[in-house]
Every structure is written in structure tokens, then in C-alpha cells.
Amino acid sequence: MPLNSTAFSHPPSFLLVGIPGLEKEQFWIAFPFCIMYAIAVLGNITLLLIIKAETSLQEPMYLFLAMLAFTDLVLSTSMLPKMLGIFWLGSGEIGFLSCLAQLFFIHTFSSVESGVLMAMALDRYIAICCPLRHSCILSVPVVVALGSLVLVRGVVLVSPFCFLLCRMPFCQHHVISHSYCEHMAVVKLACGDTRVNVIYGLFVAFIVIGSDMILISVSYTMILRVVMRLSSTEARLKAFSTCTSHVCVILAFYVPALFTFLTHRFGQSIPPHVHIMVANLYLLVPPMLNPVVYGARTRKLWDRVV
């Protein structure tokens, strides 16, 4: 039968099952997820409003934080409302194009979040290692340009995912063993040759996560070298305190991201419900944690809140 026949075309819709193996518990699992989403929305909107209203916060650190807050809002909103519909209402059906749109936003803004975290590490490096030139190197136009480049990178790298999936035959396979439309979860339904999709997925992961983590590691290695040379213990503690919140956010984002990425390809022995739970928390914990961590540890923001 030719590949362009109905039997090999993509289905009009997919069925998201939620968390495989925990279908009976999904109704209750949705409640903490909903609370986390509410905290993420409230916290990130509060950050955006404070940074916009206070002219004294128009600095690179806070501009990057505003980008991070906006990214977190898009990420969590792209997946949680549909997920709650699955868990509470059993409405797991999602149209093919809607699935691709969700996939596009989730992967694009995951890439953007990684890029913003890398830019924030660069900001901390310049602020600690070159404090006198910080405002000259990272002026507002430069910060805006970095944010734009990060967004363009995400769009350019993720768009081929959608085009490749549109060309794939699915043989009427339509049940996605996931809570949202994730690239590899959809690729696994295809009945054609998926090597291009898999190879390109690895390429994107290496370009985004690999390069960003390398730059973050180099930045903090240089920061550590400079800080350890400071003669004053108080100055060292202040420098470490400045970077602590950022390191916490980095770990909360990259640890589950790497776990999810590696499990899709090499973790066949890991139970599906563990993988999907981590994948869900990967898109919920950082958006919830970021405003809490930065709001509590950044004095200027905390003063505006209280």
C-alpha cells in the first residue's frame, strides 16, 4: 500500500493516556500539580509586574529574570491545562495539529529556558569577574539581543520536529503513552523509518543542553577561581550567596531534563510511570521554584513584595 494512502497517513487526533500505570491515581495526582501551577502563575506574573513597574530593576539580572518568568509561564501553560483535562475529565483526545503546536511550544521554550539560564550565568560571571565593565558589556540592547537570539534559536531548531512528524506515516497508531505531546513519545508511534527524527533530536539536545551546560560550567568555574582569590571572607560569602539561587534553579531544570532525555533513549528498564512523572515535574517544578528562589534571595525583589 502506498505511503500516501489513508492507512499510512497521520490520524486526525491522538489520545494522551496521562501517566501509564497510574490511571486510577491520576485524579488525585492532579491536585498537587494544580497547586504547583497556581504558584508558578502567581509568582511569575508578580515578578513580571514588579520588574516592569520599578525602573531601578531595569538591570541585566532582572531583565533576564523577566525573560525566565515569561518562559516559565508559557512552558507550564502549554501542558498543564490539557493535563488537568486528562486527569480530571478523561479528555485525553488532542488533534494532530494541536499536538504539534503543544510539542512546538514545549520544546521551543524549554530551549529558551536553557538559553536564558546560560545568559544569566554569563551575567553573573561578568558581574563578579569584571564588575567595572558590567554595565558596558551587558547594556540593555545587548540583553535584548541575547534574549532574541535565544528565542530564534529555539524556533529554528524545534520547527523541523513538526515538519518531520507531518511527513511520517503512523499507520493509525494514535495512543500516546504520555501526559503531553513530547517529540520522542510521538515519534515512537510512527511506523516508518524514524532514524532522521532520532538523529535530529540528538543533534538538537547536544546543541541546546550540551552547549549551554558547557558555557554555564565554564562561567561558574571562572567565578569560583575569582572568588577563592578574594582576601575577605565576607566578600567571598557575598559572591557565593549571589550565585546560590541561580545554581539551585539550574539544577532543578537540568537534572530532570537529562533524566527525561536519557530515559527515552536508554532507560527501557525504568518504569513508564516514573519517567512520565519526572517529565511532568520537569515542566512544573522550575516555573514554580524560580519566583520563590529569586524572590526570597534577591533583596530588591523581596523588598518590593513585602
Treating both helix axes as pointing N-terminal to C-terminal, what angle do 272-297 and 26-53 enclose, rounded to 10 degrees? 30
C-alpha 68: how far from chain center: 10
138, three cell numbers: 551587558
pLDDT at 147: 93
Q: Which H or E element spans position 140?
A: helix 140-166
Grid cell in block for residue 141: 540592547
Spell out the per-residue pLDDT of the chain, length 306, in tens: 344 444 446 778 899 998 888 888 889 999 999 999 999 999 999 889 888 887 777 788 889 999 999 999 999 999 999 999 999 988 889 999 999 999 999 999 999 999 999 998 898 888 888 878 888 888 889 999 999 999 999 999 999 999 999 888 887 778 888 899 999 889 888 887 888 988 998 899 888 988 899 999 898 888 888 877 777 777 677 667 767 777 888 888 888 888 887 776 666 778 888 888 888 988 899 999 888 887 665 656 655 555
Residue with cell 539561587: 245
CA-nearest of 46, 43, 52, 98 to 76 is 43
Residues belonging to the chain: 306
Distance CA 40, CA 200 (A): 31
Domain spanning 13-303, CATH class: mainly alpha
Check: CB of residue 75 under 8 Å from CB of residue 109.
yes
What is the pTM assigned to this prediction? 0.88
Residues near 132 by beta carbon (within 8 Å), at least 6 away in sequence: none
